[in-house]
Amino acid sequence: MIIELSSGYLEFGERTVSVPFGRGQKMPSGDITKDLPNDQLARILSEITGLRSEVTELRGEVTELRGEVTELRGEVTELRGEVTELRGAVTELRAEVRALDGKVDSRLKETRPIWESALEQLKELRDDMDKGFRDIGYKMDVLAKDVLQVRADQRDLRTDQRDVEDRLRRLESR
């Protein structure tokens, strides 16, 4: 609260109290309230009491705010600790990921020649199978031709057999 002095008045923020000295006069030293009428003295004392209760109330609010600030500082300190823990955990996770990346790269380097060899062997196997299937196809063609030839020969033999049997019957019948 600011107390302003002006011509004949004491001003307490929004409240104004009339005092018995005029503009340009110095405030008397000593007890300035002894020359005041009782009603003015009572009003001043009432204002002072009001101001004191407001100051007490403000002090309570300040104390409450200080408590809240202290609580907030504690929470901030706690959060800083948690952030530090999280940073540590993130650092550990990054290290683990790097280690796993290293292992994966290492395994890839180890298995790459194996896979390349396996793929080469599969290619050779495929080539061999293709050649084998071509050979089997050729042999099947030859076999089919041979079977057809055997059937044709068999037909011719049957025809020849019939002719021979016919001749034999004719000879026997004579």
pLDDT in tens, 47-77: 999 999 999 999 999 999 999 999 999 999 9
Mean pLDDT of 8-24: 50
- Domain spans, the chain: 37-158
In the DSSP assignment, the letter for residue 30 is S
Of 126, 127, 130, which is closest to residue 138 (Cα–Cα)?
130
pLDDT in tens, 100-141: 999 999 888 888 888 899 999 999 999 999 999 999 999 999
Mean pLDDT of 20-35: 53
Q: Model pTM?
A: 0.38
